[in-house]
Structure 1
């Protein structure tokens, strides 16, 4: 008999595991669920120095070893947590049997901001550009260097990509529509992780899909977990 996968919840940048406590509680009624604070987040230690996706992946492997043992896992990540999950899955096909991305950071997020907002921009747009690039260079709680990369395949595992439906980025003066366009394009690019991927729009959600539409997040994670168990 196949083991039912363990669900690993991965919050976004600046969010501790308590942010996902609501959906974890609901999911735990029918599944084994784990969430954890990456270095620099929540109750975890501060990173010694700059971190990379490879380093973040090693910690995730340690978490999976501890909570799942030999059981397969489904990774469900929001924002940066989604990007980390999507980068991790292709190299760990033996363990990762499903992925849910909730408005995951675009695989080309650095280029998206620099292309959408020119260096000549002033005011709030210039601030957004400078702040985003600063965060990407490691000036963030995890000291993680956020880099663009090609989307790699994890085979034919079940994958759900949930994108926000309320176009909150479009409200940004002058450059908003382009930012929204690029974000949506990034969500479609994540579909290349698997031949068995599906794009879902959370019509009533801004960025925090699992807060705005927890039922949709739970239902999608449960569906992917059931498919991964087959």
Structure 2
């Protein structure tokens, strides 16, 4: 999730409920019953029931706001739930709303139940009250999952910071997370990676990249989220994990330090393989950081593979 002033290297471092058309037929046994009033009452009861179903995350389609500890979180869901299939939850990167994943969600929803959401500070969700930790982001994710999947299994597919949050979340929620797809996910040791490559004495573009990224990791970002380096990647159980890295070497464009930044980025992707013995790393050869935009078919196929394995 590197950020740099150079535009070409920015941001390295998202039912209509199944309610049938219901027609109420009242059987009236008392003379003088007001048919019009009874029909209105039945219709009102049906509308209340339909609205109650629409609030159940597992069934709604479209977007809605979810209250999470008094904050409004924007959630989107598509597709029909299927027995034995996990719900897919898409997680955007820093600075992005769920709209950046809309194309992937639409494609996957042809066969799967798929949801996405805006973290606090992103998209249509509320701003956080103060600085957040990765654990705070995980608490918001838990609330979303409880709403859209209930107690059922989920596959998390995260881009950039969304991938890091998903990878940190899964080990502590092995009863819920049955698969992971990490799309150019932020490295678990990103701060150390940057400071190890670009020294404090750097000047020019390198100095700007270093300072900008350190500020972001210290909370100067839309989510107010603090991101620490932590080399420990805890196992998330025997789940399928696909880690996909960019193939277009856009970090290499950063003067003097580009090649080493590309190297540590790849090393960071390899660290995520420790999440599971069923992890695999691949490269989206024609993609920059936004794999789901540059090669959406690569993202979709990986998510489908992991979902199929998780459901087997």
Give your verdict on TM over 0.5.
yes
Structure 1's consecutive aligned runs of 4 or more residues displaced over 3 angstroms after TM superposition are none
Equivalent pairs counted in the alignment come to 230
Report how far residue 80 of structure 1 moved: 0.3
**Match of residue 240 from structure 2:** 158
Question: Is 1:28 equivalent to 2:120 in the alignment?
Answer: no
RMSD between aligned residues = 0.9
Q: Residue 64 of structure 1: which of 140, 145, 149 is its match? A: 145
Contact map agreement 1:2 1:229 (CA 8 A) in 2: no
Q: Deviations over 1:141-190 (max 9, x none)?
A: 00000111111100110000000111111111000001000000000000
Report how far residue 124 of structure 1 moved: 1.1
Question: Is 1:193 equivalent to 2:193 in the alignment?
Answer: no
Structure label with greater radius of gyration: 2
Instruction: Measure, in 2, the Cα distance between the counterparts of 1:47 and 1:22.
Output: 27
* 1:73-92 mapped onto 2 (5 Å cutoff): 73-92=154-173
Question: Is 1:106 equivalent to 2:192 in the alignment?
Answer: no
Instruction: Measure, in 2, the Cα distance between the counterparts of 1:31 and 1:191.
Output: 26
Q: Deviations over 1:88-143 (max 9, x none)?
A: 00000000000000000011000011011001111111011000000000000000
Question: Is 1:181 equivalent to 2:181 in the alignment?
Answer: no
Report how far residue 55 of structure 1 moved: 0.7
Instruction: Measure, in 2, the Cα distance between the counterparts of 1:167 and 1:119.
Output: 24
Contact map agreement 1:204 1:212 (CA 8 A) in 2: yes
Q: Residue 46 of structure 1: which of 121, 124, 127 is its match? A: 127
Q: Give the unaligned 5+ runs of structure 2.
A: 1-81
Question: Is 1:169 equivalent to 2:251 in the alignment?
Answer: yes
Q: Deviations over 1:19-38 (max 9, x none)?
A: 10000000000100000000
Contact map agreement 1:5 1:228 (CA 8 A) in 2: yes
Report how far residue 2 of structure 1 moved: 6.0
Report how far residue 3 of structure 1 moved: 2.0
Instruction: Measure, in 2, the Cα distance between the counterparts of 1:79 and 1:128.
Output: 17
In the superposition, the TM-score normalised over structure 2's length comes to 0.73
In the superposition, the TM-score normalised over structure 1's length comes to 0.99
Larger relative contact order (Cα-Cα within 8 Å, sequence gap ≥ 6): 1
Instruction: Measure, in 2, the Cα distance between the counterparts of 1:148 and 1:45.
Output: 27
Instruction: Measure, in 1, the Cα distance between the counterparts of 2:109 and 2:290.
Output: 20
Question: Is 1:215 equivalent to 2:294 in the alignment?
Answer: no
Q: Residue 207 of structure 2: which of 115, 126, 144 is its match? A: 126
